[in-house]
């Protein structure tokens, strides 16, 4: 049987097995023997986090970037110990308020604001659709690589020409069958969760199997792979972490920490499908263990693939399949392929169900219920309409993901698209985490923060992918929006020290959080928001009374409530639910109810149309009196009044603590200054001791050796004079530095042509350039405006920079470039050499006095170590700026700017 047939049959059998497992899970639930009431099943279902990105993309990322792939899993591992504090609180809130989605959670927290739910839904849809698309890409790519040779393409060519489409259709059927069987979305999908747990276990075993095959079958263990890779410089770099990657590690780890509970699929399995909060205790160590095991062979497979397929153009994302295919191990190929299929399908199924619920509850239902539609509902059950809507939404989501994969996603790696999705859902962190720990957060703050963060995400991460797909002009990336370089998407606001990805994460989360905090502090929360803030933040205090409403006083007509519930739940279920409610509350059937019935109806309806829409519907049939703040406090807890009574005392305590911190910082600053003074004196005496010692030694030689020849005496005297000059220069520089530091230095300002200064400086060093065979290139812009400057001091700066460039440029092929031009009404001068450059960690320290003396780990160049310090002081006293940029090992560029408008005659600091 051909490999093509094996792939087709195994795929069909595997999908059939998933249907069977899901059906078994549902049947066991109906029999009262739930399979998901098990902490191991719960922990395994959380591994839906490990998608095709983990199975294929991590290997591809490791093959190109080395250990950086670990950030995606380091974040969740660090977050797991905090689940008992964060995730448990979210689970409790959702159970009490019958919340089923992220959009509902944020919407309910901020006063059941429907607009906020719509915004969160849009963010999740746009953020997760590309993520779903890369799962389809992974499936299609894995089939393509297995059928790459003509011998594998037989009579099934028509069926396998578009495998992603057939998989999409099959998964849509699965999600519809096991995700939309009931109208109440608060009921758990136990069949689906059982299937997801099985897939998590299957993909783990499959990946470990192929990893062991590569490590111990193709190679002779870990040591063999790493030894062979270490012999190649291009692969040896994959073992280490460069200095420039530190920022990427931090931001990617942070985003992964947030994604583990903010991705819709993770919220679905971790929160909505949770049976028992105590299962978190097992998951806090079992889930990190799972991540460790599934990543154990990532680097060996990546290195093995690089060694095996050097310069063959094989996509690193496909190494997991390409290596066993290379050796013709058909059994391993099929097993590995099914593991990848498992990783992709589990993510697609859960994400699609979660998004369909979100779209219906927060987009479609609010549209249905808008305006007069609330009062014009027909007298019939709309259960079927809601179920059909969810099913159509599932199909629509998968179709959009498929179209994205075909139009854009196919051009990018699994990791690049996955990280973009992570950053998108990370924007939900400020309103969600702020909402459960900070009572002052308001819906205006949440709304503003989300809009700003989402906008920056679109501009800095999504827009570049559209440009790279050639759907927009590349000028947006190269020149920035409207031609402003500060608005370039990949270096927003001029932040070039971070990678494009890190700067996007930094700006989006910083401005999102900042807007959330600032706007919340300057806006007033409504009574509904204050109620929800109290319940969310102090959920463990109030959850025993979770059935009680805090909505105020209502007069409720039972018939109207019953009619509303019947339209959504059906007559039989409504009657059974109301009967159960009155039995538990020990209340007879009155014609008019109280607030408890309103709360019950709202929570019951929330499972069908979402919490925000349910609130609108119930309030539409309830005559609600004005909410009194005293009633709210009485229902919540009388002890809460003590909190507000002690608020002033707490504030004063915080102010005293703040003053204490300020005094401590001031004391530390004084100690630092005292230490610097001692260090400065020690360094100066050390620098002066050297020439004095040399002078004394040569003088003693002259005194004790009268037989020396005249030529030897002249040589010793020249050395004495040279050392004396060196000591004089050091003393003058120290005096100069003291004048600048104390503000006593006065500048003799006049209108100066900077190009003339540069040319005179070049003439002064021309002989040195010639002796050292250093090539000098100049690019001086003509007609530069004059600057107000002290000619001698400015010459001192330029000479120092050129001398340093000569000193540190390449010894064999030295090159120095000098340029001047006008930028932003400032005259700018650059002096560039092609030497070893300046490490990022030293680019500020080289401007500190006697930095060379402190840097004893390297050979000390000729000089006092004060030249750059004084040069920066001179430029700053001209109201300019002096700095360095460098690419270590290649070049260093020293730049300074001077203002063109006149400056004050007496400039001092």
Structure confidence by residue, pLDDT tens digits, 300-354: 999 999 998 887 778 888 899 889 988 888 889 889 988 888 888 888 888 888 8
Q: Give per-residue pLDDT as tens, 268-312.
A: 889 988 888 889 999 999 999 999 999 999 999 999 999 988 877
Phi-psi region of 611 (alpha: psi -120 to 50; beta: other; left: phi over 0): alpha
Give 560 or 218, the one with higher predicted confidence: 218
DSSP 31-92: TT--SSSSHHHHHHHHGGG--HIIIIIHHHHHHHHGGGGGHHHHHHHHHGGGTTTTHHHHHH
Average the pLDDT over each of 256-260, 463-467, 828-832 and give the range with the smallest value: 463-467
Q: What integer pLDDT is reported at residue 208 of this predicted model?
A: 95
Closest-CA residue to 218 (of 138, 141, 304): 304
pLDDT at 545 over 70: no
DSSP 8-state class, residue 784:
P
Instruction: Give the model's pLDDT for residue 683.
Output: 58
pLDDT tens string 586-628: 555 444 445 566 666 766 666 566 555 666 666 666 544 333 3
Q: Quick check: 642 pLDDT over 60? A: no
Does residue 645 register a pLDDT over 80? no
pTM of the model: 0.60
* 554-557 and 592-593 beta bridge pairing: antiparallel
595 and 625 Cβ atoms separated by less than 8 Å: no
Dihedrals phi, psi of 757, to nearest 5 degrees = -60, -45
Element of type H or E holding 815: strand 815-823
Q: What would the pLDDT profile of 882-901 be if each residue is shown by its tens digit?
A: 999 988 888 899 999 999 86
Closest listed residue to residue 585, CA positions, set 575, 595, 571: 595
Cα 806 from Cα 796, distance rounded (Å): 15
pLDDT of residue 361: 79
The pLDDT score that the predictor gives to residue 830 is 94
pLDDT at position 459 over 50 = yes
DSSP-assigned letters across all residues of 458-527: IIIIIHHHHHHTTSS-THHHHH-GGG-GGG-GGGGGG--SS-HHHHHHHHHHHHHHHHHHHHHHTSPPPH
The single residue listed with the structure tokens 């079927």 is 384
Neighbours of 532 (CB within 10 A): 25
DSSP state of 373: G
pLDDT at residue number 908: 42
Q: What is the mean pLDDT of residues 392-403?
A: 85
Residue 168 predicted with pLDDT over 60: yes
| Mean model confidence pLDDT for the chain | 78
**Cα(377)–Cα(365) distance, rounded to whole angstroms?**
12
pLDDT at position 550 is: 37
Average pLDDT over residues 49-71: 86
Going by pLDDT thresholds of 50, 70 and 90, the confidence category of residue 374 is: very low
CB atoms within 10 A of CB 121: 27
Give the three-state DSSP class for 564. helix
Is the per-residue pLDDT at 150 higher than 60? no
Q: Which two tokens stand for residue 185?
A: 């979305």
pLDDT range class, residue 907, cuts 50, 70, 90: very low
pLDDT at 230 over 70: yes
Q: Which residue has the higher pLDDT, 580 or 144?
A: 144
- Locus of tokens 């020149």: 479
| Secondary structure E strands in 350-451 | none
Q: Is the pLDDT of residue 904 over 60?
A: no
Neighbour-count burial of 31, counting CB atoms closer than 10 A to its CB (0-12 exposed, 13-18 middle, 19+ buried)? exposed
| pLDDT, position 519 | 94
């Amino acid at each position: 049987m051909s490999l093509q047939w094996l792939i087709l049959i195994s795929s069909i059998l595997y999908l059939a097995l998933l249907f069977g497992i899901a059906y078994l899970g549902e049947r066991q639930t109906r029999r009262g023997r739930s399979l998901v009431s098990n902490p191991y099943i719960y922990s395994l279902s959380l591994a839906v986090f490990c998608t095709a990105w983990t199975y294929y993309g991590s290997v591809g990322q490791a093959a190109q970037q080395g250990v950086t792939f670990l950030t995606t899993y380091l974040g969740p591992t660090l977050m797991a110990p905090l689940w008992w504090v964060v995730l448990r609180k979210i689970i409790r809130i959702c159970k009490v308020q019958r919340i089923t989605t992220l959009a509902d959670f944020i919407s309910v927290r901020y006063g059941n604001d429907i607009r906020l739910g719509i915004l969160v839904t849009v963010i999740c849809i746009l953020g997760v659709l590309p993520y779903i698309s890369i799962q389809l890409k992974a499936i299609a790519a894995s089939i393509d690589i297995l059928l790459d040779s003509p011998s594998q393409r037989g009579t099934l060519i028509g069926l396998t020409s578009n495998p992603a489409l057939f998989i999409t259709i099959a998964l849509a059927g699965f999600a519809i069958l096991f995700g939309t069987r009931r109208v109440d979305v608060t009921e758990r999908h136990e069949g689906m969760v059982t299937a997801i747990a099985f897939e998590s276990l299957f993909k783990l075993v499959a990946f470990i199997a192929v990893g062991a095959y590569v490590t111990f079958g193709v190679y002779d263990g870990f040591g063999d792979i790493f030894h062979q890779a270490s012999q190649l410089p291009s692969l040896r770099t994959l073992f280490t972490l460069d200095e420039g990657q530190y920022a990427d590690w931090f931001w990617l780890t942070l985003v992964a920490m947030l994604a583990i509970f903010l991705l819709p699929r993770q919220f679905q399995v971790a929160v909505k499908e949770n049976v028992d909060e105590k299962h978190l205790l097992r998951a806090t160590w079992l889930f990190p263990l799972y991540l460790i095991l599934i990543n154990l062979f990532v680097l060996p497979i990546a290195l093995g693939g690089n060694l095996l397929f050097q310069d063959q153009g094989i996509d690193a994302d496909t190494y997991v399949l390409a290596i066993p295919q290379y050796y013709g191990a058909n059994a391993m190929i099929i097993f590995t392929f099914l593991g990848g299929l498992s990783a992709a399908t589990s993510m697609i199924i859960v994400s699609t169900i979660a998004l369909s619920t979100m779209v219906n509850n927060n987009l479609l239902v609010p549209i249905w219920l808008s305006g007069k539609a609330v009062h014009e509902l027909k007298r019939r059950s709309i259960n079927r309409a809601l179920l059909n809507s969810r099913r159509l939404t599932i199909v629509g989501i998968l179709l959009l993901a498929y179209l994205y994969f075909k139009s854009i996603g196919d051009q990018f790696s699994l990791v690049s698209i996955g990280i973009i999705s992570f950053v998108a859902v990370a924007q939900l962190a400020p309103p969600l985490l702020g909402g459960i720990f900070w009572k002052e957060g308001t819906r205006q703050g949440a709304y503003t923060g989300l809009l700003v963060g989402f906008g920056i995400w679109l501009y800095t991460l999504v827009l570049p992918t559209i440009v790279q797909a050639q759907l927009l002009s590349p000028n947006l990336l190269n020149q920035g929006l409207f031609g402003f370089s500060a608005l370039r998407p990949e270096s927003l606001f001029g932040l070039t020290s971070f990678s494009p990805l890190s700067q996007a994460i930094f700006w989006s989360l910083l401005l999102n959080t900042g807007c959330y905090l600032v706007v919340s502090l300057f806006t007033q929360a409504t009574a509904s928001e204050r109620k929800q803030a109290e319940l969310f933040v102090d959920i463990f205090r109030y959850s025993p009374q979770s059935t009680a409403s805090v909505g105020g006083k209502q007069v409720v007509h039972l018939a109207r409530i019953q009619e509303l519930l019947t339209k959504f739940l059906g007559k039989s279920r409504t009657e059974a639910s109301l009967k159960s409610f009155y039995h538990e509350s020990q209340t007879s059937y009155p014609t008019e109810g109280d607030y408890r019935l309103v709360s019950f109806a709202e929570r019951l309806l929330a499972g069908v149309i979402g919490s925000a829409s349910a609130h609108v519907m119930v309030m539409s049939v309830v005559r609600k009196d004005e909410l009194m703040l005293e009633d709210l406090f009485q229902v919540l807890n009388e002890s809460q009044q003590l909190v507000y009574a002690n608020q002033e005392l707490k504030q004063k305590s915080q102010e005293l603590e703040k003053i204490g911190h300020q005094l401590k910082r001031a004391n530390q600053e004084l100690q630092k200054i005292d230490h610097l003074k001692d260090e400065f004196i020690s360094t100066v005496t050390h620098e002066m001791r050297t020439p004095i010692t040399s002078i004394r030694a040569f003088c003693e030689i002259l005194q004790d050796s009268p037989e020396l020849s005249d030529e030897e005496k002249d040589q010793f005297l020249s050395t004495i004079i040279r050392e004396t000059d060196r000591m004089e220069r050091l003393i003058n520089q120290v005096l100069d530095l003291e004048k600048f530091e104390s503000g006593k230095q006065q500048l003799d300002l006049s209108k100066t042509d900077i190009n003339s200064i540069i040319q005179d400086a070049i003439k002064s060093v021309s002989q040195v350039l010639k002796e050292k065979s250093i090539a000098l290139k100049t690019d001086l812009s003509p007609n530069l405006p004059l600057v107000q400057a002290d000619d001698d001091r400015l010459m001192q700066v330029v000479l120092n920079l050129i001398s340093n460039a000569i000193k540190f440029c390449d010894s064999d092929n030295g090159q120095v470039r000098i340029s001047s031009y006008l930028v932003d009404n400032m005259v700018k001068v650059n002096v560039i050499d092609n030497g070893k450059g300046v490490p990022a960690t030293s680019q500020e320290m080289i401007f500190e006095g006697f930095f060379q003396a402190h840097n004893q780990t390297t050979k000390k160049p000729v000089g006092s170590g004060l030249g750059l310090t004084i040069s920066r002081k001179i430029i700053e006293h001209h109201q300019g700026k002096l700095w360095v940029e460098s690419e270590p090992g290649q070049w260093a560029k020293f730049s300074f700017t001077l203002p063109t408008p006149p400056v004050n005659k007496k400039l001092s600091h």
